[in-house]
């Protein structure tokens, strides 16, 4: 089922109302779902590989805490932040300033930044761990079966 953008995100606590959460595709809703956004976003950084490593480890630690509490929404939000760490790092690795398109909509030429590429691989590694976690996969399937 698609992510539901019609929810009143400003007034919904998804920890109290996990039934309102839809997994969606990829990173959908990553900056909307509270209180998770406020818990994870302050730790999300990728400027250098050192910063990306610290960030991904902290987000993974939060993932583990959500998992211990059987909090699927928190687990999925941590997964989304890992995925977003990968995709944003890749964008900055491929395009100077992270700008894929020029002012008229043409794709800029790629200029590979090895440091940002390393940051991307750090997030990708943790993202793969989460998305292949058997507990995560079971809880995701159950959440989707129960709530859509």
Number of domains, the chain: 1
Return the HEC string of 60-95.
Answer: HHHHHHHHHCCCHHHHHHHHHHHHHHHHHHHHHHHC
Residue 141, domain member (yes or no)? yes
Query: For residue 71, what pLDDT is reported?
Result: 98
Residue 26, domain member (yes or no)? no
- The model's pTM is 0.92
Rounded CA-CA distance 143/64 in Å is: 18
Sign of dihedral through CA atoms 30, 116, 43, 139?
positive
Q: Mind listing the pLDDT tens digit of every residue in the chain (148 residues)? A: 678 888 899 999 999 999 999 998 899 999 999 999 999 999 999 999 999 999 999 999 999 999 999 999 999 999 999 999 999 999 999 998 889 999 999 998 898 999 999 999 999 999 999 999 999 999 999 999 999 8
Residue 75, domain member (yes or no)? yes
Which residues span the domain enclosing 130?
34-147
């Amino acid at each position: 089922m698609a992510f539901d953008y019609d929810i009143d995100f400003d007034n919904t606590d998804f920890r109290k109302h996990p039934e309102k959460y839809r997994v969606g595709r990829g990173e959908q809703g990553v900056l909307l779902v509270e209180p998770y956004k406020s818990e994870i976003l302050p730790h999300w950084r990728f400027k250098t590989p050192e910063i990306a490593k610290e960030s991904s480890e902290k987000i993974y630690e939060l993932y583990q805490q959500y998992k211990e509490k059987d909090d699927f929404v928190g687990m999925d939000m941590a997964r989304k932040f890992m995925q977003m760490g990968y995709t944003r790092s890749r964008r900055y690795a491929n395009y100077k300033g992270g700008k894929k398109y020029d002012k008229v909509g043409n794709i800029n030429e790629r200029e590979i930044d090895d440091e940002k590429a390393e940051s991307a691989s750090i997030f990708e590694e943790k993202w793969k761990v989460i998305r292949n976690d058997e507990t995560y996969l079971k809880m995701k399937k159950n959440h989707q079966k129960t709530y859509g």
